[in-house]
Structure 1
Amino acid sequence: MIKTAILVDGAFYRKRAYTLFGDISPAERAKELSAYCHRHIKDEKEGACLYRVFYYDCPPMNKQVYHPLLKRAINLGQSEDYVWANDFFKELKHQRKFALRLGRLAEEQAHFNIKPDVMKKILSGVKTIDELEEKDFSLSVTQKGVDMRIGVDISSLSFKKQVDRIILISGDSDFVPAAKNARREGIDFILDPMRSPIRDDLYEHIDGIRTKAPKLEKQNVT
């Protein structure tokens, strides 16, 4: 049996799951994630057992951030996203063999930006500044401590020989140094980017790509 640890980049998974599976309740999303991870185990022809699922994310912000279009502060602690995220984390704690690794958001740097696709329309003359709406803005905030926790856990699992295989659900390249260390220790390192594109040079630092995400029509892939 291949003892397998599954590491989930939470922000990445939630964004991809929304695209792939739609907008659902926190409880449904938690069960969906658990089922998604277990498919990696059940579909292993050589036989595999789940060591644990490690989920990495940041608690939502509970503060006021100034909105440049509305010209007033928005209380993020009263938003639907805040309630949804907290409920989602609570549901994950009830999933079997799940461990939450929470970092924090750089709240002091949080601000609203015009969405990139909207900015393109403005620069091309398709949309004007006067036509901007609240939905044309998105909150920009940086995660703190998430990548570090992923790297530490990959190294710890590898050096202590706790698992034979690590599956990382992510589309980021920040894991490369930790992946190199894991492979040096003989760990089979698999990446699941959930059908999002990854850089070609990442292939040399992993042992393969495997995903349980369904295919999307080309025009719908984000």
Structure 2
Amino acid sequence: MTMRRLAIMIDGAFFLKRLKNVDPNVPWNEPSQVANLIFRHALRHTNQRIGTKNRTPIFCDFELYRIFFYDCPPIEKKMHLPISKRSIDFAKSDIAKFRLNLHKELLKKRKVALRLGHLIETATWKLKFEAQTKLLRKEVTWEQLTDDDFSLDVIQKGIDMRLGIDVASLAYKNAVDQIIMIVGDSDFVPAAKLARREGIDVVIDPLGYGLHDHLYEHTDGVRDLSYKAKKQTPSEPEQFADELPQNVDNGNQPNMQKSFWRRRNQRKGHRPHDSQK
């Protein structure tokens, strides 16, 4: 019997927006730390609770097949701000530099595949929701708006297609038994439906985000490993960091993990059931 194989598929833009829900202590502008967090969070899914025995949680190891990270290169053109008309070069912005360096860091990671789409060049300025609310409440006038009340509206292209192709490849080659999708919108429903029809267990990690009903309908479950969810479910504590990478390399034999607390007691030199005698 071989160990079950697992693929992780991450919507990069969604993950970065929910970064503080994954680990509030990781700064958003440090590419190496964010790349390490992405890899570390994906590895946490390789050890899953599958049930209980004698009121003791039982965990099962999955072999990591690959981590797929879907994103787009940052916009690098020059534009004029909507109010002041001042020219701005997005290629020199901190966000663009961070995104490019993050992609470089991810390329160095073990078992990480970077899939890049593209941004539509016809990006436009969009009034922020907070500014719209103030205008409707007549708290401000149009003349009082500033450049900070607008955000650049960019649209990603090619992400859904690349994810769908990868899912189809995994499904038709029987490469994995389970796919974890870290996504937040229903654009990925067709890919999830295809995987399920081919017998793959599809699980969503929403990072604490409210999912669309279609994602619940067309997936096999939700496994939220966000910081908020972890605080609310102490019965499934995070595994020791030095135990997580054991399933990265191929060739591991199947292993049903003991409970977290039993492993901890064994490390401290306690017998598992001394308290029950």
Q: TM-score, normalised by structure 2?
A: 0.74
For 1:164, the equivalent position in structure 2 comes to 177
Aligned-partner Cα distance in 1 for 2:22–2:138: 32
Aligned-partner Cα distance in 1 for 2:191–2:173: 14
- Partner SS for 2:208: coil
CA-based RMSD: 1.7
- Partner SS for 1:30: helix
Find out whether 1:134 has 2:139 as its counterpart: no
For 2:156, the equivalent position in structure 1 comes to 143
**Which residue identity does 2:16 align to in structure 1?**
R
Distance 1:98 1:78, change over 3 A: same
For 1:29, the equivalent position in structure 2 comes to 34
% identity of equivalent residues: 44
Q: C-alpha offsets along residues 172-204 of structure 1, whole Å, 9 cap, x if unaligned?
A: 101111111111110000111111001223212
For 2:209, the equivalent position in structure 1 comes to 196
Q: CA deviation at 1:84?
A: 0.8
Alignment of 1:167-182 (within 5 A): 167-182=180-195
- Partner SS for 2:18: helix
Aligned-partner Cα distance in 1 for 2:206–2:199: 22
Which of structures 1 and 2 has the bigger CA Rg? 2
Q: C-alpha offsets along residues 25-59 of structure 1, whole Å, 9 cap, x if unaligned?
A: 11110001111000011345222010000000000
Find out whether 1:117 has 2:119 as its counterpart: no
Total equivalences in the alignment: 216
CA contact (8 A) 1:122 1:129 kept: yes
For 2:4, the equivalent position in structure 1 comes to 2
Q: CA deviation at 1:20?
A: 4.8
Q: TM-score, normalised by structure 1?
A: 0.92
CA contact (8 A) 1:165 1:189 kept: yes
- Partner SS for 1:171: coil
Q: CA deviation at 1:18?
A: 4.1
CA contact (8 A) 1:165 1:188 kept: yes
Stretches of structure 2 lacking an aligned partner (at least 5 in a row): 50-58, 232-277
Give structure 1 regions of 4+ aligned residues with deviation exceeding 6 angstroms. Answer: none
Aligned-partner Cα distance in 1 for 2:195–2:180: 11
Q: C-alpha offsets along residues 124-150 of structure 1, whole Å, 9 cap, x if unaligned?
A: 112222332322211111111011101
Which of 39, 61, 65 is the equivalent residue of 1:47?
61
CA contact (8 A) 2:21 2:227 kept: no
- Partner SS for 1:96: coil
Alignment of 1:36-115 (within 5 A): 36-44=41-49, 45-107=59-121, 109-115=122-128
